[in-house]
Amino acid sequence: MQKLKRIKLGPKGKQIALLLLVMVTVGIGLTAFGGMKAEFGPFAVRLAFAWGWPGESRLVIPPLGEITAYTHRWPVVLSATLERIDLPLLQHELLGVSASRDYLAGLLLELRGHLYRFLVRLCLVGGGAGLLAGLLFGERRFAAWWRTAGVGALLVLFIMGGVLAGFDQEAFKNPRYEGALEVAPWALSLIEEGLNRLPEFSLRLAEVAGKMDTVFAGVNTLSPLANVEGELKVLHVSDIHNNPAAVEFIEKVIAGFGVDLVIDTGDLTDYGTALETELNRRINNLGVKYLFVPGNHDSAAVVAHLRKYKNVIVMSKRIYETHGLTIMGWPDPASTGTERLLPGDDELKAEAENLRAYLEAADREIDLLAVHNRKLVTPLPAGVPVVLYGHDHKMAIGEVDGTVLVNAGTTGAAGLRGLGNEKIPYSVALLRFNRKDGRYRLVAVDSIQVFSLHGKFILERTVVNTSGAAGEETGDR
């Protein structure tokens, strides 16, 4: 068998082969290690380098999608992904902001510093890749290692220099959007106007907190219900939509009224992302059990995050018993994995049939049924005394065929989407149950609405008669 002949390279051939090896290892190294986390103020952003054609820059905001612009001609993709917003810190910082443009300029200055560090990191990755190439090539001299490391770093500088030299900032005026396209108009308006309005928004949040005490002072002026031993108070909240003031609102109502149990009928978030779950951390410290029914804006990621909280029970097509009540929860079909925020009418109708079939098969008396969308209980299942729902952001208390229906409205005042709309209040419903014949019966519902801009609140009591009809007794303070 003939032996293979070893190919011998001359000095120039070796140099060319080594250079090619350095280029390959640098390319692989930048792809594998060309990422860096940057934290500035309340924001955490991941900067990343990748190869791709055509050359582009990407801004990735998980709840909204991805904005891309063709900013350069080199086959390089530069991306910045917003990983986290520390909302309590952001709110704290904005309380002291008098000039939003100066605040933005400070953030951009910090970001620029991180970009310089990102460039240095890429050069170090290039140098390390060049050193590795020298070792793989069989170089054993220290001077040769320095040369290959230097070539790797210079190669990165050459690439990034070419990108920056031809970088076209005007390309962002014609971007491409991918992701949740249905919210692009809202996202753009938030980007354009949000920063100038954030101080105003933050001040309103603080104003809401300050007005809560007025609510509790005024509640004593209502005509009290009969003082029956064993009263159970259930707080119904819904549609928080990422508003951090909502949890503070809930905390104050729990403390002021002696709430025993909280039931949330969904839409804690807007787009069901892990980023948004940072907003609900304080729910874990409310001190009472918190039953949660996922809404169409919530997702498996949100549900998984909430399941980690000791005081939270995520209701998933089951019947639960707690505090002497038998409660059935049924999540919105959009929360189970579909990419659409709004399920179609046919899907809701089919899910409503599944709900009624489950209830009939269970053959149990329940005290309360909680859903996100009222269409899931249309037509109403027979024999259910109380139904809680949300979704449409309109507080309502009514009675249909012996069933009391309660809509808590929007406890987060529609979230950021409601910013600037003075007509949307923060709202909750407080259900009062008394024990009768060994079973809790709903006797009254107190609706509380707070208009943060003017500090106005409305507390309205709806008394439920023993016959099942609902009467009203209203207090407007």
Predicted confidence at residue 388, as pLDDT, reads: 98
Predicted confidence at residue 145, as pLDDT, reads: 87
Per-residue CA distances from 309 to 138, 330, 352 (Å): 55, 20, 29
Query: Which token pair is 39?
Result: 């934290």
Residues 6+ apart with CB under 8 A from 438: none
- Nearest one of 294, 248, 269, 303 to 416, comparing CA atoms: 269
Query: Which token pair is 217?
Result: 């002072």
Per-residue pLDDT of the chain (477 residues), as tens digits, is 455 455 565 677 778 888 898 899 999 999 999 999 998 877 888 999 999 988 899 888 765 667 788 889 899 999 998 887 776 676 666 655 556 567 666 776 887 888 889 999 999 999 999 999 989 888 888 888 899 999 999 999 999 999 988 888 777 666 666 654 444 444 444 444 444 444 554 454 444 444 444 444 444 444 444 445 678 999 999 999 887 778 888 888 888 888 999 999 999 987 766 566 666 778 888 999 999 999 988 888 888 888 888 899 999 889 999 999 999 999 998 887 655 566 778 889 999 999 999 999 988 999 999 999 999 999 999 889 999 999 999 999 999 989 999 999 999 887 755 555 567 888 999 999 998 888 899 999 999 888 764 556 778 889 887 454 454 433 333
**What's the gap between Cα 149 and its chain centre?**
44
Distance between CA atoms of residues 184 and 181, nearest Å: 5
Predicted confidence at residue 69, as pLDDT, reads: 83
Predicted confidence at residue 334, as pLDDT, reads: 85
Are 194 and 104 within 8 A, CB to CB? no
Query: Which token pair is 337?
Result: 């994995």
Domains contained in the chain, CATH given: 12-179 (no CATH), 214-338+345-476 (3.60.21.10)
User: What ranges make up the beta strands (E) of 348-453?
Assistant: 368-371, 386-389, 396-400, 403-407, 426-436, 439-451
Predicted confidence at residue 125, as pLDDT, reads: 94
Distance between CA atoms of residues 94 and 74, nearest Å: 39
Predicted confidence at residue 455, as pLDDT, reads: 55
Predicted confidence at residue 475, as pLDDT, reads: 38
Distance between CA atoms of residues 152 and 434, nearest Å: 76
Predicted confidence at residue 195, as pLDDT, reads: 44
Query: Which token pair is 273?
Result: 């992302």
